[in-house]
């Protein structure tokens, strides 16, 4: 059984559709009240740091990042 690294990243405000559509395929964005939640599935540290750097460059305020429990997948 393989495990995946999953993250939930909360940012202030609503990412516009253009920004959300430009996320790499392993990241998905969902609007929430006063923030946007970005879910990361099966990402390595490099990809995660790349997204965080990109958000910072765009001036998007990071509110929270947390690793979600590992999910087991059949091989």
Nearest CA to 54 out of 26, 8, 25, 23 is that of 23
Whether 75 maps to a domain, the answer reads no
Whether 73 maps to a domain, the answer reads no
Whether the per-residue pLDDT at 1 is higher than 50: the answer is no
31 or 10, greater pLDDT: 10
pLDDT reported for residue 23: 84
Q: Tens digit of pLDDT for each residue in 22-70?
A: 888 888 888 888 999 999 988 888 888 988 998 888 888 999 999 998 7
21/19 Cα distance (integer angstroms) = 5
Nearest CA to 9 out of 59, 21, 41, 25 is that of 41
Domain that includes residue 33, residue range: 2-68
**In total, how many domains does the chain have?**
1
Whether 44 maps to a domain, the answer reads yes
Whether 74 maps to a domain, the answer reads no
Output the domain CATH number for residue 35.
3.30.70
53/56 Cα distance (integer angstroms) = 5
Whether 26 maps to a domain, the answer reads yes
């Amino acid at each position: 059984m393989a495990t995946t690294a999953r993250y939930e990243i909360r940012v202030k405000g609503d990412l516009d559709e253009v920004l959300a559509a430009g996320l790499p395929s392993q990241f998905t964005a969902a609007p929430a009240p006063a923030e946007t939640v970005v879910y990361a599935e099966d990402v390595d540290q490099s990809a995660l740091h790349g997204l965080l750097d990109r958000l910072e460059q765009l001036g998007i305020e990071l509110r929270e990042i947390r690793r979600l429990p590992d999910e087991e997948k059949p091989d």
